[in-house]
Every structure is written in C-alpha cells, then in structure tokens.
C-alpha cells in the first residue's frame, strides 16, 4: 500500500486512469523507499499497519439443491475470494525533491519499473 500526501495532476484529462504508469518505485532496504515521477523524487518510509488489511474480490457461484423441485433446484451464493493481505504501507509525507539531471539508479534494488494506478 502506498500513501501520498497531496494529489497527482494529469496534463491530459482524457487519459484512461486504469493501468496508468505514474513513475518508478525503488526500495533501498526494508525501511526506506523512493518514488520518481518525471523529474521529481519522493522519499518514503515503510511502516507496519496496526491492523492488516485484506484485498477481496466478489464472487458468485451457483449450485443445485438435491431434494428441491425442478424450478427451485438451483441456488446462487455470493461470497468473496481473498486476493492478498497488506501488512505494510509506504508513506511519502515530504515535499518532492526536484531532479535537475537524470535520476540516479545505482545500488538500489528496483522493485517495480512502473507504479500503476488502477482507478475507475
């Protein structure tokens, strides 16, 4: 989970937000992380959540009831599938640093090459 203070402004408002590549995310160790968006770099800290959060996906299943008459012998159940558990979050709470030259990438373990925003 990533927490940002402020907002991300898009230059083109007609861009589809689903799978939008926002920037590059690097984690130096288990305590600090960096997010580079264009020529701006944000420094963040990894913190443990007080209560873990679960990612759920709604699911529907249908089955047959054995001893029911023909028009009523099907039953649908709605439930949830667990996709994952979030135990840590990365908090970027300071103003971004302006990068004048190409962002440095030495001696950092790159976790993801692009941070994707999945919106509406």
Averaged pLDDT score across all residues of the chain: 75
The answer to whether the CB of 34 falls within 8 A of the CB of 41 is yes
**Better pLDDT: 14 or 96:** 96
| Neighbouring residues of 104: CB distance < 8 A, sequence distance ≥ 6 | none
Residue 113 pLDDT more than 50? no
pTM of the complete model = 0.57
Domain interval for residue 52: 2-117
Q: Tally the domains of the chain.
A: 1
Residue 71 is encoded by which pair of tokens? 């028009």
């Amino acid at each position: 989970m990533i927490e940002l203070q402020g907002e991300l402004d898009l230059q083109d408002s007609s861009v589809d937000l689903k799978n939008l590549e926002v920037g590059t995310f690097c984690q130096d160790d288990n305590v600090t992380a960096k997010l580079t968006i264009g020529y701006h770099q944000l420094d963040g800290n990894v913190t443990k959540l007080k209560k873990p959060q679960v990612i759920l996906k709604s699911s529907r299943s249908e089955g047959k009831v054995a001893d029911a008459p023909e028009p009523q012998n099907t039953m649908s159940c709605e439930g949830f599938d667990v996709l994952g558990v979030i135990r840590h979050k990365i908090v970027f709470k300071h103003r971004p640093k302006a990068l004048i030259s190409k962002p440095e990438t030495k001696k950092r373990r790159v976790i993801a090459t692009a941070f994707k925003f999945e919106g509406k």
